[in-house]
Each structure stands twice: as structure tokens, then as C-alpha cells.
Chains A and B, each alone.
Chain A
């Protein structure tokens, strides 16, 4: 136990001197990085525009309220599209992610080469944000819901495949051995030995990702990929902040709803 001696008594210390030194060195490095970053940002900022931020904020709030609730009537279609982007995107992601997950899991992969290939798919899907996928797809296949669906789907493949493959790696092999011992065929082993073990995890991951995708599909419209982001972009471009407030309220309700659904379903599975 690290202590310091002060006069006659030994006083308890949390860390040894060496640990203290390393800790403070870490803090120092962090502080230097922070100072450099702050200086850089400050150099890139027009402070003239920052000083009137409180006025700008006040102005913005006065434009946002009262919300123009009549605009809600025009939002049902974009809302429906938003839900579709998330749901169909999740389904597409699952269709691709399930085989990828089986290839990536150490215990089910047919060959290490397939495993590396699956890991590559997972990494490239996960490293690129849904909005960047959407930007690329809008430029390639044109604006619309389809670009949003594919963007959300592509982004979700890596996430789902990673969690699914972890679930597959954790399965218990005893039921599979037991099935093998009864002379079950390969298909029967998968149906009765593997699927029952991973199905709850799969369902949980799916709903979790769907919840995230609802959030993401609310913004892909900002770059033209459909959903409720489209009217949001249009309202902001036209400085119709009272309409934007209605959209923000709707997004909040949608996100809270999807989180509630996801929590309920995951609790029911467990």
C-alpha cells in the first residue's frame, strides 16, 4: 500500500509516486493537445459572429415559436418514408449481415480467408457514416427514399454483423454435439442446435439497430435521401423556423417512440 511518511506517521496514498508521475504526465499531454486544438479553432473562427450569439439565439427562438402546427398535415408522408427507410434498411442490412456474421465468427467460418474478408466488409461498412453513404448514393443513383434505404442499410451491415458474429462465437457446443450424436443432418443441427441459441440475440440486435436507424433516417434527408430531413432542409433553407419547430417536435416523438419499442421488445426477449 503506497504511503508517505510525514513526521512520525505514515499517511495513506492512493498511488505510488511512479503512478502519480505517469498520471500527471498524461494530464499534461492532454492539456497540451487541448491548448493546441483550442488555438487552432480560435484561429479559424470569426469572433465577430460569435459575440452576438446570444442575440442570434434569442432571434432564433422568437422565430421558432409559436410553432406552425398546421404544417403537420404535410409531414405524414415524410414521416412514413422515414420509418420505411429505417425498417427496410434494417431488413436489407440483416439479409447481408447474417451470412457475413457466420463467415466472421471463429467457430463457424469455413476458412480464415473468409473470416478476413468478412471482417473487411464489416470495417468498411462501419467506418463510413450513414450521411456520407447517403451523400455518395444521392450523387450516384439520384435523390430519393431509395438512396436513404441503401445508405442506412450499408451503414448497418457492419454493426449487425459484428454483434451477430459475437453472439455466434458465444454459443454452447454441447447441444450441437448431442444432435450430432443422434445422427442429425447438417441442416437439422443448424435448425435445432444453432438457431435456437442465437435467435434471441439476433432479434435483440435487430431491434436495437432499428432504433438507431430511425434516428439516422431522420437526417439523411438533409442531403436529399428522403424522409423527414427533406422538409427540414427546405424549411431551414427558406428560414421557416416555425415549421422547423414542428419537425423537431415530430422527430422527438418518433425517437422516443422507437426507443420505447426497442426497450419493450428487448425486455420481452430477455
Chain B
């Protein structure tokens, strides 16, 4: 009965009840699946609106086809660069960039975790009082809304070019990420251990460390490792605005059309990303 293509009403009649007239009229006709959108007006309006949007959007993209045709030659050079990556001629820059990226990742993750924990507790409705909750939620929302590279622009202006700006950027972004996800975990905990500890007269700190922390700890470790992973990926791009890391070298190599160096950098980055993704996967599996 579930799939009768009647006008929305004939879904749920049990077998022994008389069929509603709209369904009775369909007797003997082939079965048709029930439409996804129940309202017939919307059912036709949505595809029409989507099509109209697509036409308008595509029409508004102006493409310089001559430039694109020119690019085909460049694409060939780029692919050739990937076929023969050049690690040696710019190795000093690549090395410094990678070391900076790694250092930024470690510092930012440590600092970010340290700062995100108070924000996470503050942003959990079942623990924090309302003013603290609102403040922490607002801070987390702002930290999450902006891409790392936009935040990096601010830190570069404040502390100058270099990996310090990058580390601060990634730490800030880590607060937004970990703060939100941890706060959600804290809100989802089983409240009974907390009540039990409260009944024994345990102090606030003891309530947190014996009732809340053990419940969120595995997820906390998993998320931290995951964020370490993300921070490395991001550390490879924020160098574009001068915040240290391999991004600066990457940007320079592309703007100088040294595609074989570009390829070398990308290969190193991808290798580290894959390695860290694998390692983080193993750690997360063991903890959870």
C-alpha cells in the first residue's frame, strides 16, 4: 500500500478496511512509486526553480576561452612536472617549509587543545550557567565561521610574517572545532554518574574529573588526533598569506611556473597527509 501514487492521502489504509475512493480508482492500474515530494505544486516547482537557477548561474560565469585554451599548454607542462618532480633545486626551501608546517601543527594543536577544553565545558548547557554558555557558544561560532586563511590574515597583521602567526591561527581554529564537538559530547553524557557524585558531596572539580571526563575522554583523544591531521593540511595553505609553512614555497613555485618544484612539494605534502591520516586512523580505532 505504501507506494500508491494517489494524491497524497491513500498511504496507510489497512488491508481489511475499505479503500478510500482515490485509491479505489487506481485498482487495476500498474503500481507506481510514491513521489518524493508530497505536495504536487512543490514537486514541479522545485525542479523548475533549480533549472532556472542553474541557467542563471551558468550564464553569469564569464569565461575567457582564449585564456583557457592557452592554459591547455600550461596543463601539459604541469603534468610533465608531476611526471618528473624536482626535489633538489629548491630543497632548502621545501625543507624549511615542511619543518615550519610540522612545528606549527604541533604547537597549534597543543595550544588549541589546552584552550578548547575550558571553552567546551563553558559551551555545554548541562554544566555551564547561561551567561558563560552564551559567551562560549558565540566565540566558537565566530571561530568556526571563518576559514583558517582569513584568520591568518589577522594574525599576520598582528605578529608579523612567519610560523608564529600560523601557529596562532591554527590554535584559534582548533578552539572552534574541538570546542563545538566536545561541548556536544559533554551535553550527551549520561547524567547519572554526575548525580551520584553530587550526592556524595564531591567538589565541582571532582565531579568533572570523575563523572564527565571519563565519559568524553575516548572521543576527546580521537578528535584531538583528527584535528592534528586537519592542522597539518591547513598549515600547507595558510603560508599563501604569509603565515609560515610550506604554503609560501608552494605559492612562489606556482607563480614562477616552476611546476616540477610544485609537484615535488605537493608530493611531500600528500605523503605526510596520508601518513598522518593512517596514523590517526590507527590511534582513533585503538582509543574508541
- For A236, give its contact among B78, B153, B274 (CB under 8 Å): B153
Q: Which of B241-255 contact A (CB under 8 A)?
A: 241, 244, 250-251, 254-255
The stretch among A97-105, A110-118, A143-151, A169-177 that forms the contact with chain B is A143-151
Q: Is the CB of B236 within 8 A of A132?
A: yes
A-B contacts besides A127-B233, A128-B266, 11 pairs, CB < 8 Å: A41-B164, A41-B167, A45-B159, A132-B250, A141-B67, A142-B70, A144-B62, A144-B64, A145-B61, A251-B145, A252-B145
- For B270, give its contact among A124, A149, A216 (CB under 8 Å): A124
The stretch among A3-11, A46-54, A67-75 that forms the contact with chain B is A46-54
B157 at the interface (CB under 8 A from A): yes
Q: Which of B136-162 contact A (CB under 8 A)?
A: 141-142, 145-147, 149-150, 153-154, 157-160, 162
Bitwise, A240-262 to B at CB < 8 A (1) or not (0) is: 00000000100110011000000
CA distance A223 to B163 in the complex (A): 20
- For B57, give its contact among A50, A53, A87 (CB under 8 Å): A87
CA distance A252 to B262 in the complex (A): 33
CA distance A57 to B159 in the complex (A): 9
- For B99, give its contact among A40, A45, A50 (CB under 8 Å): A40
Q: Which of A23-74 contact B (CB under 8 A)?
A: 30, 33-34, 36-38, 40-42, 44-46, 49-50, 53, 56-57, 60
Inside 8 A of B100's CB, which chain A residues have their CB?
A: 40-41, 44
Q: Is the CB of B74 within 8 A of A139?
A: yes
CA distance A219 to B157 in the complex (A): 18
CA distance A132 to B157 in the complex (A): 22
CA distance A57 to B219 in the complex (A): 36
B110 at the interface (CB under 8 A from A): yes
Q: Is the CB of A80 within 8 A of B107?
A: no
CA distance A55 to B44 in the complex (A): 58
Inside 8 A of A46's CB, which chain B residues have their CB?
A: 160, 162
A129 with B233, Cβ < 8 A, contacts A37-B103, A49-B160, A146-B61 known: yes
Q: Is the CB of A256 within 8 A of B64?
A: no
Q: Which of B201-260 contact A (CB under 8 A)?
A: 233-234, 236-237, 240-241, 244, 250-251, 254-255, 257
Shortest Cβ distance from A142 into B: residue: B67
Q: Name, among A38, A81, A132, the residue most crowded by chain B CB atoms within 10 Å (CB to CB).
A: A132
A194 at the interface (CB under 8 A from B): no
A53 with B146, Cβ < 8 A, contacts A40-B100, A129-B236 known: no
B63 at the interface (CB under 8 A from A): yes
Q: Is the CB of B102 within 8 A of A222?
A: no
Partner-A contacts on B (CB < 8 A): 33, 53-54, 57-58, 60-64, 67-68, 70-71, 74-75, 78, 99-100, 102-104, 106-107, 110, 141-142, 145-147, 149-150, 153-154, 157-160, 162-164, 167, 233-234, 236-237, 240-241, 244, 250-251, 254-255, 257, 262, 266, 269-270, 273-274
Q: List 28 A-B contacts (CB under 8 A).
A: A37-B106, A38-B103, A40-B100, A40-B103, A41-B100, A41-B104, A46-B162, A88-B61, A91-B54, A127-B270, A128-B266, A128-B270, A131-B149, A131-B237, A132-B250, A135-B250, A139-B254, A139-B257, A142-B64, A145-B63, A146-B68, A192-B33, A218-B147, A219-B149, A219-B150, A222-B149, A251-B146, A252-B146
On chain A, the number of residues with a Cβ less than 8 Å from chain B's Cβ atoms is 56
Q: Is the CB of B164 within 8 A of A45?
A: yes
A222, chain B: closest CB distance, angstroms: 6
B59, chain A: closest CB distance, angstroms: 10
Inside 8 A of A141's CB, which chain B residues have their CB?
A: 67-68, 71, 75
Inside 8 A of B149's CB, which chain A residues have their CB?
A: 131, 219, 222
